[in-house]
Structure 1
Amino acid sequence: MDTLLCDELVQEIFNRLPPPSTPAVSLVCKRWRRLLRSSTTSLSLHFPPPYNPTTITSFSTFLTHHPYLSSLSLAGGAAEDPLIAAASSCPNLRRLRFWGTPITPSSLHTLSGYCIHLSSIAISISRPLSFNNWLPYFTSLKSLSIFITNSYTETNHNNNSEVKDSIFDHMGLSLESLSLCGILPGDYELSFLWNNCKKIKKLQFKSCESVGDYSSFSSFLKSLKDLQELELRTCRSIVDVILLKLAETCVSMESLLIYDGGSREGLLQFINRSKCRLKRLDVRLPLDLNNAHMLALSENLNFSGLACLRLQSCCLVTGEGLRSLGRTIANGLDELSLINCDVVERESGLLTSLGQILKRLRKLDLSYNHTLLDKELVSMLASCNNLVELKLRGCNRLTKTTLSSLVRSCKQLQFLDIMYCSRIEVEAVEWFLLNSPPLRRLEVEQSKLSEGAVKRASSKFIEIVS
Structure 2
Amino acid sequence: MDTILCDELVEEVLRRLAPRTQFSSSTADVSLVSKRWLRLYRSTRSRLPLRLSPDNCTPPSLSSFLSHFPHLSVLSLSIAAAVADAPVPPAISIFRDQLLLSIASSCPNLTDLQVCSGPVSHFHILSLSTPCPHLTNLYLIVCRPSSFHWLLLFPSLKLLGLIFTLVPGEHVDTASEENFDAELKLETLYLSRIRPGHYGFDWLWKSCKKLTLLRLARCQGIGDDTSASSFVNCSKSLQEVELSSCGSVVNDILSKLVENCTSLNSLLIHDCGSKEGLLQFITRSRCNLRKLDLRLPLVLKTSHLLAVAVNFRGLSSLRLHSCSLVTGEGLKTIGLARSNDLEELALVNCDVVEREPGLLTTLGQNLKKLRKLDLSDNEMLVDEEFISMLASCNCLTELKVRGCKRLTNASMVVSTFKSCEQLESVDIMNCPGIGAEAVELLVLNCLRLRKLHVEKSKLSDASRLLVWKRFIGVFVH
Q: CA deviation at 1:48?
A: 1.1
**Distance between the aligned counterparts of 2:229 and 2:176, measured in 1?**
18
Of 310-319 and 11-20, the range deviating more from structure 2: 11-20
**Distance between the aligned counterparts of 1:435 and 1:172, measured in 2?**
54
Contact 1:240 1:266 (C-alpha < 8 Å) held by counterparts: yes
Q: What is residue 289 of structure 1 aligned with on the other side?
A: 300
Q: What is residue 458 of structure 2 aligned with on the other side?
A: 448
Q: CA deviation at 1:127?
A: 2.7
Q: CA deviation at 1:212?
A: 1.4
Q: What is residue 315 of structure 1 aligned with on the other side?
A: 324
Q: What is residue 33 of structure 2 aligned with on the other side?
A: 28
Is the aligned partner of 1:126 residue 2:143? Answer: yes
Q: CA deviation at 1:62?
A: 1.0
Is the aligned partner of 1:104 residue 2:88? Answer: no
Q: 1:462 to 1:195 in 2, by over 3 A?
A: closer
Contact 1:400 1:424 (C-alpha < 8 Å) held by counterparts: yes
Contact 1:128 1:156 (C-alpha < 8 Å) held by counterparts: no
Q: Equivalent of 2:200, from 183, 186, 189?
A: 189
Structure 1 residues 401-446: Cα deviation after superposition (integer angstroms, max 9, x where no partner): 1112222122112211111111112222223323333322221111
Secondary structure of 1:101's partner? strand
Instruction: Compute the TM-score of the two structures, normalised by the length of structure 1.
Output: 0.94
Contact 1:45 1:75 (C-alpha < 8 Å) held by counterparts: yes
The equivalences for 1:179-218 within 5 A come to 179-218=190-229
Paired AA for residue 142 in structure 1: K
Q: CA deviation at 1:463?
A: 2.5
Root-mean-square deviation (CA), in Å? Answer: 1.8
Structure 1 residues 282-303: Cα deviation after superposition (integer angstroms, max 9, x where no partner): 1113421011001111111xx1
Secondary structure of 1:145's partner? strand
Paired AA for residue 131 in structure 2: Y
The equivalences for 1:65-104 within 5 A come to 65-76=68-79, 78=92, 79-104=96-121
Secondary structure of 1:283's partner? strand
Is the aligned partner of 1:57 residue 2:60? Answer: yes
Instruction: Compute the TM-score of the two structures, normalised by the length of structure 2.
Output: 0.92
Q: After TM superposition, where is structure 1 displaced by more than 4 Å over at least 4 residues in a row?
A: none
Paired AA for residue 334 in structure 1: E
Paired AA for residue 396 in structure 2: L
Structure 1 residues 330-359: Cα deviation after superposition (integer angstroms, max 9, x where no partner): 211111111000111110000010001101
**Distance between the aligned counterparts of 1:66 and 1:113, measured in 2?**
20
Residue-pair matches, total? 456
**Distance between the aligned counterparts of 1:388 and 1:210, measured in 2?**
40
Q: What is residue 371 of structure 2 aligned with on the other side?
A: 362
Secondary structure of 2:210's partner? coil
Q: What is residue 136 of structure 1 aligned with on the other side?
A: 152
Is the aligned partner of 1:461 residue 2:453? Answer: no
The equivalences for 1:315-334 within 5 A come to 315-334=324-343
Q: Percent identity?
A: 49
Q: Equivalent of 2:173, from 158, 179, 187?
A: 158
Gaps in structure 1 of 5+ consecutive residues: none
Q: Equivalent of 2:405, from 372, 387, 396?
A: 396
Q: CA deviation at 1:222?
A: 4.5
**Distance between the aligned counterparts of 2:315 and 2:234, measured in 1?**
25
Larger RCO (CA within 8 A; separation ≥ 6): 2
Q: CA deviation at 1:4?
A: 3.3
Contact 2:421 2:445 (C-alpha < 8 Å) held by counterparts: no
Contact 1:105 1:131 (C-alpha < 8 Å) held by counterparts: no
